Structure 1
Amino acid sequence: MTAPRRLVIHLRDDARPVYSIPDWAVDEIREALPDGWEVVVPDAPADGRGDGGDDLPPAVLDAVRDAEVYLGYGVPAAVLHAAPGLKWAHTASAGVGGSLRDEIAHSDVVLTNAAGVYAEPMADTVLAMMLHFARGLDFAVRAQADRRWDKAPFDDAESPIRELNEATVGIVGLGGIGRAVAHRASALGMTVVASRRGGGDGPDGVEVFHGEDALDQLLPRADFLVVTVPLTAETEGLIGARELAMLPEGAVVINVARGAVLDERALIDALRSGRLRGAGLDVFAREPLPDDSPLWTLPNVLVTPHVSGASHRFWRRQTELIVQNIRRYAAGGPLRNTVDKKAGY
């Protein structure tokens, strides 16, 4: 008798319950497979923090030895070593920086990611951060904590309070997240400009800059700078002191990409100088953010603990992507969200 082809799901019992795969999602994945396949869900906790953990419990290593497909948070090198017959690996994270080691980068294993799955809630978070600073909610929250009825920051002739429809948002990286941000900003009447590495146009109404000077064209126009690029060798340290100095006075910086894309020391200096209105940060160079980081106490900084993608609809979108790719894989077709291993996303 021919042994069944094996798909391993290592996405259960994550320390963050919202990211632990529910039973209904496992059932839908199993039902999408053609005859002759088995689904194995090891009795071992997953770890989806960052781009996924490096260590794998023995139960997972045992399960993947005969696996053809692996679904997990990240693709640790140990999976490649333990699964010589692996052909397709899917990471339920959007970032793949932690997975692109030599083992998978130089293998024939097809790697897919969850780019786009997180876009809607992340774009909502970006919008909330823009409104936080545009409408002075930072002033209101501090006053409330002190039980102060303080209208001064709103009534002052030099008040930074503004309407979003008079502002321009500059989006660095026009992938799934950037497009979702652009959609929301355009609906609110904002001017939207964006930079992207590849060619092609953006959504209707979005002015897109390409080429080596794309960022230099975008920055002077960005009242709100939204960073959504993946972390690669090219984007590490992309936004530093020079770039921050090119922003209009009173600009707001929002980073929901990866902490290493933004020079935190340069940002802290710019925030302390008063030249920037503020910064909304969901990601940091070190996570958790160290206790002694000035970002905790700067009054013009909004810190969220890498949760911009949190949503109860996460598994609906993730499962739909996986199921669609299972059907494509079974038919020998190209998979959605295939990672360009050289580009890093």
Structure 2
Amino acid sequence: MKALCLWHATDEELKYVKAAIPSGTELVVPEGEYFSRFECTYLSIERHAVDADVFLGWTIPEGISEISKNLKMLSYFHSGVDDLGEIGFLAHAKKCGIKIANVRGANAIAIAEQTMMFVLALAKQTVTRNEASRERLRSFPLFAEETRSAMLSGQTIGVIGVGNIGSHIAKCAKAFDMRVLGVRRNKDRHDEYVDSMHGMDELHSVLAQCDYVVLAAPHTGQTFQFLGEAELAVMKPSAFLVNCARGALIEEQSLHKALTTGRLRGYAADVWPYYAWPRFFPAQMEPRLQLHRLPNVIGSHGEAHNADGLLERYIEFGVENVVEFINGTPLSREVSLDLGY
């Protein structure tokens, strides 16, 4: 069995991987220099890719799957695999019988913490008040509707997508004495921190009840831009929306309209819409309508997972996938090639 690391691993990382995988497994790495050590090029792995049984890492160079005739399994160091669908690898894997496992759950706590930071920052007007503090400005008159904070305690939060991340968000929300409504594909799968679980067919009913809505759903063909004008129209004008999943879940034009007409109080995101070729024309790697510049919007730029211990956890989960595959045991994080997550 030959396993190929798709990143320029440090000596310490290689030591960890070698100690974890079954003896007799050949472990190889990219050759040559790199710009980012978490990437590799076609030329840097070509020699090893042709007969590798297993890939593990963050990226796949263009064209490498076509020469990897012996590939049986990919351990992908991400929670979402929608980008693999964009490059055609999911279809390739299904056609060739290649198993894919991700590292879902590895970043769940970090993403949940970032999400609750956004919820609090929106509710407490953190950015605005920090800027006012720098200028030594105080709100006047006191308790005006436009300047006072929103509360979390006793309010309703809807978590759309109750998986590993969504479950942690629900747990955090309960610590603030919030009522938690959940929406997931299979509403019969209950969660101990969700007060009421609902199916996607009940989405509008759930949105209408919420003071805060968090998107934590995977990006698939079924969820692409599923939150649009009709969904925003049923939300409370006083509600806040947070997206910690994928920018493509929201229809940008409708969101921009809601935020600029008072239909939605505020928005926060770690992820933004991007319009990549060939699905979109012209290609644009940022919001077309400059959502991130609106005064009632705050965000980060895909940095929620950039936290203490996450790199080590990604590698740990990813290596566990490889060990399970080599040992012939069921993959605990196997991706459904039909569902796309």
With the shorter chain as reference, the TM-score category is 0.7 to 0.9
1:218 aligned residue: 206
Question: How far apart in 2 are the matches of 1:71 and 1:64?
Answer: 11
Deviates more, 1:225-234 or 1:329-338: 329-338
Equivalent residue, structure 1, for 2:83: 98
Hey, what does 2:63 align to over in structure 1?
A: 78
Please tell me the residue identity of whatever aligns with 1:213. Answer: D
Equivalent residues of 2:256, 2:289 under 8 A apart: no
* Contact 1:123–1:180, Cα closer than 8 Å, also in 2: yes
2-side partners of 1:94 and 1:118: how far apart? 8
Contact kept in structure 1, 2:139 and 2:147, CA below 8 Å? no
How far apart in 2 are the matches of 1:115 and 1:154?
45
The answer as to 2:175 corresponding to 1:187 is: yes
User: Shift of the alpha carbon at 1:331?
Assistant: 2.4
**Could you say which residue in structure 2 is the equivalent of 1:234?**
222
Q: Which residue of 2 aligns with 1:18?
A: none
Task: State the match for 1:326 in structure 2.
Answer: 322
Letter of the 2:105 partner, please give it: G
Match of 2:42 in 1: 57
Q: Partner of 1:250 in structure 2?
A: 238
Structure 1 position 212, deviation (Å): 4.5
Q: What is the aligned counterpart of 1:197 among 185, 189, 198?
A: 185
Structure 1 partner of 2:280: none
State whether residues 80 and 104 of structure 1, in contact with CA within 8 Å, keep that contact through their aligned partners in structure 2: no
Flag the 1:123–1:136 CA change in 2: closer, same or farther, 3 A.
same
The Cα shift of 1:255 comes to 0.8
Partner-residue secondary structure (3-state), 1:117: coil
Separation in 1 of the partners of 2:206 and 2:15?
A: 46
- Give 5+ residue unaligned stretches, structure 1: 13-20
- For 2:22, the aligned partner's letter is P
Read off the aligned partner of 1:322 and give its amino acid letter. G
1:68 aligns with one of 47, 53, 56: 53
CA drift at 1:172: 0.7
Amino acid at match of 1:274: G
The one-letter amino acid paired with 1:289 is E
Query: Which residue of 1 is the match for residue 100 of structure 2?
Result: 111
- The alignment of Structure 1 onto Structure 2 pairs a total of residues equal to 327
Q: 8 Å contact 1:258–1:284 — kept in the other structure?
A: yes
What SS class does the counterpart of residue 55 from structure 2 fall into? strand
Shift of 1:152: 3.0
Residue 289 (structure 1) aligned with residue 273 (structure 2): no
Question: How many percent identity over aligned positions?
Answer: 28
In 2: Cα distance, 1:327 partner to 1:42 partner: 20
State whether residues 240 and 263 of structure 1, in contact with CA within 8 Å, keep that contact through their aligned partners in structure 2: yes
Task: Within 5 Å, give how 1:249-268 maps onto structure 2.
Answer: 249-268=237-256
1:335 has 2:331 as partner: yes
TM-score (norm 1): 0.87
CA shift digits 1:275-313 (9 cap, x unpaired): 3220002211227425x7432331100021111111131
| TM-score, length-scaled by structure 2 | 0.88
Q: Secondary structure at the match of 1:279?
A: strand
Aligned equivalent of 1:16: none
Once residues 32 and 232 of structure 1 are traced to their aligned partners in structure 2, the CA distance between those partners, rounded to angstroms, is 33
Unaligned runs of 5+ in 2: 275-283
Deviation, structure 1 residue 341? 0.7
Change (3 A) 1:123 1:24: same
